[in-house]
Structure 1
Amino acid sequence: MRNLMAALAAAALLGGCAATSGGPPERTAPVQRAAYAQSGPSSLTLYTVINNRSGAGAHTGLLINASQRVLWDPAGSFYHPDAPERGDVLYGFTPQIELVYEDYHARETFRIVEQTVEVAPEIAEQALRLAMGKGAASRSTCSLSTTSILRQLPGFEAIGSSWFPKVTMARFGALDGVTQKVITDDDADANHGVLIRAERRNVPKVPPPQLQDSR
């Protein structure tokens, strides 16, 4: 019971991950047409959104470059008309859509820490299968659900399990071969325009996420 209460308390503190996505039909369209493969080494990229004012971790996402390039964005509020979403996996995640994703999250009040590590193709494929099979995450479990994928991969066992994006970031960063960059932007906190500019058809607009976390 004590462990259950602690978990519930941690979940209550985490506000960075938006509510579980359902979304309009455009967001759950068949994903086969959107599949995108990128040449180059297989890799995993961890995104961590950090509040510039409090220093708190706000959101966790995982870009998987395997036989196709997808973004695991648990309980995230980002969408793009060319990246259909199913079960919190955004398909067809091209470099152009990646830039929109980064622009959406990075603004005057938030920055992104991007950490990338090259992996064997079979490990990337395993990550892809786990993400595709996991289903949509509950609110405030972005870090927890991402670590539940990572810790099953060979060489990533030390990631363990964590509710907190910055803890997950630190553990990922301690792995061999990880490269890191910080993405900043001085855009205003209201970031509706990023999604509006990305729209090519009448997709209902989503308000910017209320990002916060306890660490």
Structure 2
Amino acid sequence: MRLLMILAAASLLTGCAVSSVFEASPEEIAAKVYVPEGPPKLTIFTMVNNTTGSGGHTSLMVSGSQQVIYDPAGSFLHADVAERGDVLYGMSPAWVQGYKSAHARSTYHVVSQEIIVTPAQAERALQLVQSKGAVPGAFCANATSAILKEIPGFENISVTFFPINLMEQIAQRPDVKTDKYYENDEGDVRDGIEAAQS
């Protein structure tokens, strides 16, 4: 039994990276704010292993009064992106594409699940991701699902540690629009960031 618990913990720890210690100042965040066009929405990103179908990471983009990506225990880091408490600020369409490109490679693809929401739902989500703070490695799906559960209209979400479980829960919603993004490079997240910005 103890061996099974150790193996389960090890498999969880391989799912998400360790959070960044970088914390942008309020002034740096204010300078990076990006206000999106279109209706408010929430987008759940799931990084899926191309061979096994297992989940490697979960994150949440909030598009409301500003557009941010809550990247719990994530490894996306760039000098031109302000980050605080696992929230990436200034996520313009170019940066969102850079984010997806950084995670998609020969071994993983990115599933995007977009849901149009009310302005109140989007602002509640923004408030929640900003107040959550950085989380430890392997808690990406847990933190994201816990936040979603607190948003009106998402109360039926079950809190989970598993990215695929959360993705499948979201897939049951009739209002979800799903997209899959693939790349075929051999690099990691940092290589993908460099490629996206060149």
TM-score w.r.t. structure 2 length?
A: 0.90
Question: Do 1:80 and 1:198's aligned partners in 2 also have CA atoms closer than 8 Å?
Answer: no
* Map of 1:59 onto structure 2: 57
Instruction: Could you tell me which runs of 5 or more consecutive residues in structure 2 were left unpaired when the two chains were aligned.
Output: none
Q: Does 1:136 align with 2:128?
A: no
Question: Do 1:11 and 1:141's aligned partners in 2 also have CA atoms closer than 8 Å?
Answer: no
Q: Does 1:32 align with 2:56?
A: no
Change in Cα spacing, 1:190 to 1:137, as seen in structure 2 (3 Å) is closer
Q: Does 1:21 align with 2:20?
A: yes
Change in Cα spacing, 1:164 to 1:33, as seen in structure 2 (3 Å) is same
Question: Do 2:19 and 2:73's aligned partners in 1 also have CA atoms closer than 8 Å?
Answer: yes
Identity of aligned residues (%): 38
Partner of residue 154 from structure 2, selected from 153, 156, 176? 156
Any idea what SS the aligned residue of 2:156 has? helix
Question: Do 1:17 and 1:75's aligned partners in 2 also have CA atoms closer than 8 Å?
Answer: yes
Any idea what SS the aligned residue of 1:159 has? coil
Quote the Cα distance in structure 2 between the aligned partners of 1:18 and 1:171: 23
Instruction: Could you tell me which runs of 5 or more consecutive residues in structure 1 were left unpaired when the two chains were aligned.
Output: 1-5, 201-215
Quote the Cα distance in structure 2 between the aligned partners of 1:176 and 1:196: 37
Question: Do 1:75 and 1:140's aligned partners in 2 also have CA atoms closer than 8 Å?
Answer: yes
Deviations 1:71-103 (A, max 9, x none): 000000012222200000000011000111111
Quote the Cα distance in structure 1 between the aligned partners of 2:32 and 2:173: 32
* Map of 1:172 onto structure 2: 170
Quote the Cα distance in structure 2 between the aligned partners of 1:21 and 1:99: 21
- Partner amino acid for 1:62? L
Which is further off, 147-156 or 12-21? Answer: 12-21
Q: Shift of the alpha carbon at 1:191? A: 5.1
Q: Shift of the alpha carbon at 1:176? A: 2.5
Deviations 1:31-60 (A, max 9, x none): 111111012100000000011122111100
Any idea what SS the aligned residue of 2:44 has? strand
Change in Cα spacing, 1:83 to 1:7, as seen in structure 2 (3 Å) is farther
* Map of 1:206 onto structure 2: none
Q: Shift of the alpha carbon at 1:11? A: 4.1
* Map of 1:89 onto structure 2: 87
Any idea what SS the aligned residue of 1:157 has? coil
Any idea what SS the aligned residue of 2:59 has? strand
Change in Cα spacing, 1:47 to 1:191, as seen in structure 2 (3 Å) is closer
Question: Do 1:81 and 1:199's aligned partners in 2 also have CA atoms closer than 8 Å?
Answer: no
Q: How does 1:1-12 map to 2 (within 5 A)?
A: 10-12=8-10
Question: Do 2:101 and 2:196's aligned partners in 1 also have CA atoms closer than 8 Å?
Answer: no
How many residues are treated as equivalent by the alignment? 193
Q: Does 1:79 align with 2:77?
A: yes
- Partner amino acid for 1:153? I
Quote the Cα distance in structure 2 between the aligned partners of 1:75 and 1:42: 25
Question: Do 2:44 and 2:113's aligned partners in 1 also have CA atoms closer than 8 Å?
Answer: yes
* Map of 1:121 onto structure 2: 119
Q: What is the RMSD of the two structures over their aligned residues, measured on CA atoms?
A: 2.1
TM-score w.r.t. structure 1 length?
A: 0.83
Quote the Cα distance in structure 2 between the aligned partners of 1:37 and 1:90: 13
